[in-house]
Amino acid sequence: MKTLDFHVHYTGNAGQVDRFVADWRERGVEKAVLFAFNYADGSFPTVDEIDKVAKRYPDFFIPFGYLNLGIHDCMAETRKAIERGFKGLKFIFPAKPYDEDEYFPIYEMAAKAGMVCLFHTGIVIGTSGGDYQNEYQRKWRVSSNYMRPACLDRIARVFPEMTIVGAHLGGRAWYEEATQVMYWNANVYFDLCIGQLHYVRRGIPEGQEQRAIKPRMQQLYDEGQLNLSKVVFGSDAMMGKEGISPNWAMKTVQFELDAIGATEAEKAAVRWNTAAKILGIGESERG
């Protein structure tokens, strides 16, 4: 079954691109959505840099623009991404909640151009995380609360023509909220990165399965509130960092879909079909 990775960051290391593409292809990933990530000072790879990487593998990468709302000139950045023919935009670290009125001109421009809008949702890495980026998080007064899945609800209602994808299914704190926003808005989808359907049980003897589906997640699926045909696979890979491999993400999505009892159609939807539909990838390319 072929796979599309909806969530890959570029960290500015052009020398790692060839190895990354070869690794991913070897594991069955045929396409990947690519966007930037902030450096420690808050800057990030430019539209030009993303474009250059994507053009090296035009059959593999699907480039997105990258926006920290309220921090830099997001109208200009959006315009540039549209002019380059990018398919969408990734939003993270907004200065105010995603659904503040002042961001609506950006959404309007994106919606008119048919850009797919991917929003980080959930708790973002903090001081207890290995890669916490204190410099800009402090300066920008970053708040995970501004990135709650519920913030997508208003945007989805105002721009029903916009395809919205929330990342991380709301994270561990707000997945229930994410499934509800998705349930009530036809234009809202979520990505699964990374392994949001399961948890790891402590103290299980080696050789036995340590992973299990979160009981509430199973319940949401069983009652039809978690619609897997609106969920897409993503690895959250940081391309350019040493030691990045798709193995874990691929094994995890397989475990999760089997364990939750997904149908064959739902498995195909999560791995490829839904992302292909959202991104306008032709029928002939579907598997």
Distance CA 169, CA 60 (A): 24
Q: Least separation, in Å, of the C-beta of 69 and Zn ion?
A: 16
Kindly tell me which of 107 and 119 has the beta carbon lying closer to Zn ion. Answer: 119
Distance CA 184, CA 157 (A): 10
The CA distances from residue 188 to 89, 231, 263, in Å, are: 15, 9, 21
Q: Least separation, in Å, of the C-beta of 263 and Zn ion?
A: 28
At residue 140, the 3 state secondary structure works out as coil
Distance CA 249, CA 217 (A): 19
Kindly tell me which of 101 and 242 has the beta carbon lying closer to Zn ion. Answer: 242
At residue 90, the 3 state secondary structure works out as strand
Indicate which single residue of 5, 51, 177, 236 sits in contact with Zn ion (rule: CB under 5 A): 236
Q: Least separation, in Å, of the C-beta of 35 and Zn ion?
A: 8
Q: Which stretch binds Zn ion (CB under 5 A): 56-64, 74-82, 198-206, 234-242?
A: 234-242
Q: Least separation, in Å, of the C-beta of 175 and Zn ion?
A: 16
Helix ranges (H only) for 27-73 are 47-56
Residue 191 is a binding residue for Zn ion (CB under 5 A): no
Kindly tell me which of 153 and 236 has the beta carbon lying closer to Zn ion. Answer: 236
Q: Least separation, in Å, of the C-beta of 231 and Zn ion?
A: 16
Kindly tell me which of 5 and 236 has the beta carbon lying closer to Zn ion. Answer: 236
Q: Are 45 and 65 in contact (CB under 8 A)?
A: no
Q: Note the residues at the interface with Zn ion (CB under 5 A).
A: 236
